[in-house]
Amino acid sequence: MQSDIILLGHGSGGRLSHQLLDDLIIPILSGMDRSDQNDAAILDNVGERVAFTTDSYVVDPIFFPGGNIGDLAVNGTVNDLAMAGARPLAISVGLILEEGLPIAELREVLTAMKEAAEEAGVAIVTGDTKVVPRGKADKIFINTSGIGIFDHGLEIGGSGARPGDKVLINGTIGDHGMAVLARREGLELGSDIRTDSAPLATLVAEIIGAGGGAVHALRDPTRGGVATTIKEIALQSEAEITLFEEALPVSPAVAGACAILGLDPLYVANEGKLLAVVAPEAADAVLAAMRAHPAGREATLIGEVAESGEGRVLMRTAIGGMRAIEMLSGEQLPRIC
């Protein structure tokens, strides 16, 4: 790279854009040579049924304990495909860069994307880069879109929860949101907290392998946290779901930070967690499969589908009371992903 920072010309589509691609982006992200540089990637052997998803990432700051916006963007889209029961095949990368962004920071973000894609077994196949003047964006925004294919005929989404189903989660809640918040605000108390950002596709494969058609719903509790995601499942499934307060796994560091800041970890974002709603007879087998996977060692049961309904979510408290759980109202933690 002939410049240490991003210039407006890097977004021109012309010579500087090609230099950025040839000298930095393509060497890191892919094995493409110039003859492959078309505006669309061609994928073969896709199959008749595909999953398709998109997410933009605007997290602030772009570097935080345990990760950065790059691996977050790859894992997030990998996980959206996985929640549909799909095997992630290919992703696209759309970069919006602020003029003046240090090339060294871009290199670190791209390297994290490459490593995350390798870990998730997904190919980065196409991309786009735009540059906006200083003060018109904030360092870097990343869109990742993804295509997944199916190794099974199951239909999994957020609308399949049925009365009697068990609600499982693969580990502690609130780690990602509190890691980002602690770094952004310079909080000492958050020094032990790292993002949980991780790809969940192989964990989903184990869940489906163990539960098959008994896996009724999957969703990752990102923005809005477990509370909002459970509420979405309840509404989509027209069911009433009960959560067990004592069963919710929260690390001591996250619990402490949330207590001091007056935040409820149930509403804090996760980036390496999933909620699995499974038929009761399969719950033990699915839980065992989750615990045998590196991303699910602390998997546990946190609730159950009580009955059909209009989407109510109730929390059974430690002393046996019940209180209604609503979606996140307003903005608890802006720019968390």
Contacts with a second copy in 4-43 (CB under 8 A)?
7-9, 11-18, 34-35, 37-43
One character per residue 78-97, x = contact with a second copy (rule: CB under 8 A): --xx-xx-x---x-xxxxx-
Tokens of 176: 């990602």
**334 prior amide bond cis, ω within 30:** no
Tokens of 159: 């609308």
> Is 112 or 123 the residue whose CB approaches a second copy more closely?
123
CB 267 within 8 A of CB 227: yes
Ranges within 155-184 binding a second copy (CB under 8 A): 155, 157-159
Does position 302 bind a second copy by CB under 8 A?
no
CB of 220 to a second copy, least distance (A): 8
3-class secondary structure, 275: strand
CB of 136 to a second copy, least distance (A): 4
> Is 287 or 332 the residue whose CB approaches a second copy more closely?
332
Q: How many residues bind a second copy (CB under 8 A)?
A: 89
d(CA 156, CA 83): 7
d(CA 257, CA 286): 32
Tokens of 189: 């108390």
> Is 197 or 228 the residue whose CB approaches a second copy more closely?
228
Does position 236 bind a second copy by CB under 8 A?
yes
Does position 128 bind a second copy by CB under 8 A?
yes
CB 177 within 8 A of CB 333: yes
Does position 266 bind a second copy by CB under 8 A?
no
CB of 43 to a second copy, least distance (A): 5
d(CA 72, CA 86): 19
CB of 321 to a second copy, least distance (A): 24
> Is 16 or 106 the residue whose CB approaches a second copy more closely?
16
Does position 246 bind a second copy by CB under 8 A?
no
3-class secondary structure, 90: strand
CB 95 within 8 A of CB 140: yes
Closest by alpha carbon to 264, among 332, 209, 203, 200? 332
CB of 219 to a second copy, least distance (A): 7
Q: Which helix (H) or strand (E) holds 259?
A: helix 252-261
Of 118, 281, 298, 326, the one binding a second copy by CB under 8 A:
326
Q: Please, what's the b/e burial string for 105-117 (b: 16 or more CB within 10 A of its CB; e: otherwise)?
A: bbebbbebbbebb
CB of 37 to a second copy, least distance (A): 7
CB of 237 to a second copy, least distance (A): 8
Closest by alpha carbon to 227, among 329, 305, 309? 329
Ranges within 273-292 binding a second copy (CB under 8 A): none
> Is 183 or 231 the residue whose CB approaches a second copy more closely?
231
For the range 255-259, what are the long-range contacts, defined as Cβ-Cβ under 8 Å and sequence gap of 24 or more?
256/189, 257/178, 257/181, 257/182, 257/187, 257/189, 257/190, 257/193, 258/174, 258/178
Ranges within 40-69 binding a second copy (CB under 8 A): 40-58, 60
CB of 306 to a second copy, least distance (A): 19
